[in-house]
């Protein structure tokens, strides 16, 4: 087997003791193949009733703890996990499947299908087929949005991001979609000017990774139309995509 980055994944049989370092993958594999997770990160909040050993954060997992769990497979992501952690796991004989940080919904779902059908030897789960059908079409653009994911400093979604494609497919264009960086760091006055100039007419504020709220975020953009959205619906590639389309579509009607 070969992962998304072209690295060999030396599994001899379907994975049965898996440590996931990616919250959205944790949900996807546990829903699709319950009981095969041997560990997950502290930020793997779904499914709600997941009861497995925790191995620290996604960016800085406790690699020693992962090794102690003796997994037959570790799931990682090219954007969320450090190459040095992946290399250490492989050096200790642990197969690691690195999923590439996809820039599109179809790309992410295709990667998940490969993990489930190859590493887990499963048939396509119903949620995956449904999500592919739901996200197949792109709605006409209704808004042009600025999408912060952090403040102090301000960081927004730029080019080639999964969250940007999610919004694009429900009719919300990203003002920074053509920026040279995937996560630009514009100054606040530049962001405010986007609204003043009419380039943007919607402010999308997710609750992760930065937890924007009604009192933390909108006040920086007086008069701008804003919506608070679930970061899980915006950036997680898994079963949540089945509900995310309707939620995001109706949020801005």
Residue by residue, DSSP assigns 116-169 as IIIIS--PPPHHHHHHHHHTSS-PPP-EEEE-EEETTTTEE--SS-HHHHHHHH
**Whole-angstrom distance, CA of residue 162 vs CA of residue 105:** 6
Structure tokens at 55: 């191995």
CATH assignment of 18-133, among 3.40.50.1980, 3.40.50.1100, 1.10.3720.10, 1.20.59.10: 3.40.50.1980
Q: Is the pTM of this model over 0.85?
A: yes
CATH assignment of 137-250, among 1.10.645.10, 3.90.1490.10, 3.40.50.1980, 1.10.10.10: 3.40.50.1980
Query: Is 137-250 the same fold as 18-133?
Result: yes
For residue 135, give every residue at least 6 positions away whose Cβ sits within 8 Å of its Cβ, in sequence order, or none: 105, 106, 109, 169, 241, 245
For residue 211, give every residue at least 6 positions away whose Cβ sits within 8 Å of its Cβ, in sequence order, or none: none
* Per-domain boundaries in the chain: 18-133, 137-250
pLDDT in tens, 139-193: 999 999 999 999 999 999 999 999 999 999 999 999 999 999 999 999 999 999 9
For the chain, which residues score pLDDT lower than 50?
none
Nearest residue to 248 (alpha-carbon basis) of 195, 157, 169, 175: 169
Query: What is the per-residue pLDDT for 194?
Result: 98
């Amino acid at each position: 087997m070969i992962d998304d980055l072209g690295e060999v994944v030396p599994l001899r049989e379907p994975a049965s003791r898996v440590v996931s370092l990616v919250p959205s993958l944790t949900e996807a594999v546990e829903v699709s193949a319950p009981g095969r997770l041997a560990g997950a990160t502290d930020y793997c909040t779904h499914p709600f009733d997941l009861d497995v050993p925790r191995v620290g954060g996604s960016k800085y997992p406790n690699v020693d703890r992962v090794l102690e769990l003796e997994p037959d497979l570790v799931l990682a992501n090219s954007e969320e996990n450090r190459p040095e952690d992946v290399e250490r796991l492989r050096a200790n004989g642990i197969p690691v499947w690195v999923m590439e940080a996809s820039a599109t919904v179809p790309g992410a779902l295709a990667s998940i299908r490969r993990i489930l059908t190859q590493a887990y030897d499963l048939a396509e789960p119903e949620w995956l087929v449904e999500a592919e059908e739901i996200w197949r079409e792109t709605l006409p653009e209704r808004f042009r949005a600025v999408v912060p994911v952090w403040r102090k400093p301000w960081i927004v979604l730029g080019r080639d991001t999964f969250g940007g494609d999610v919004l694009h497919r429900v009719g919300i264009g990203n003002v920074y979609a053509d920026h040279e960086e995937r996560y630009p760091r514009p100054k606040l006055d530049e962001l405010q000017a986007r609204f003043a100039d009419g380039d943007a007419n919607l402010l999308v504020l997710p609750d992760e990774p930065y937890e924007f709220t009604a009192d933390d975020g909108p006040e920086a953009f007086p008069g701008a139309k804003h919506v608070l959205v679930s970061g899980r619906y915006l950036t997680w590639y898994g079963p949540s995509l089945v509900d995310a389309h309707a939620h995001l579509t109706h949020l801005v009607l």
